[in-house]
Amino acid sequence: MEMISISLCFATILAFLFLNQILKRGATSNRNRPPSPRRLPLIGNLHQLSLHPHRSLSNLSLRYGPLMLLHFGRVPIIVVSSADIAHDVMKTHDLKFANRPKTKAVDIIMNGGRDVAFSSYGKYWRQMKV
């Protein structure tokens, strides 16, 4: 009886791991991400930066192209190392770059980010700017 319960638990764990891998593959294949070097679980690509980060990023761009995805810790970062591609990115996604990140500290200290420096881009920001 014990052998049956142990084998049933083992089979359940294996099935869960197998299905988890299949579901992860299906979710990430829909995204069109730029090329990226392999990363470590907790620190991401921080181990690939040296004392001179500009040189490290230049070497990585020679290997992975002018548009690449790096992870600094858990934060994904798009690195653009070509002027032409940077111009295209800023032209097509200019509203996303105009917004500021909402953080809890801004909400607490700066009254919800209602000033020009921390408010998100939009009608209110344009009114406050004038």
DSSP string, 2-65: HHHHHHHHHHHHHHHHHHHHHHHHHHHHTS-PPP----BTTTBTGGG--SSHHHHHHHHHHHH-
Residue with tokens 């921080």: 46
Residue 1 pLDDT class (50, 70, 90 cuts): low
Domain boundaries, the chain: 1-32, 33-81
Express as a percent the part of the chain with pLDDT over 90.
33
Residue 87 confidence (pLDDT) above 80: yes
Q: Using an 8 Å Cβ cutoff, are 51 and 42 in contact?
A: no
Look at residue 62 in the predicted model and tell me its pLDDT.
Answer: 94
Look at residue 27 in the predicted model and tell me its pLDDT.
Answer: 57
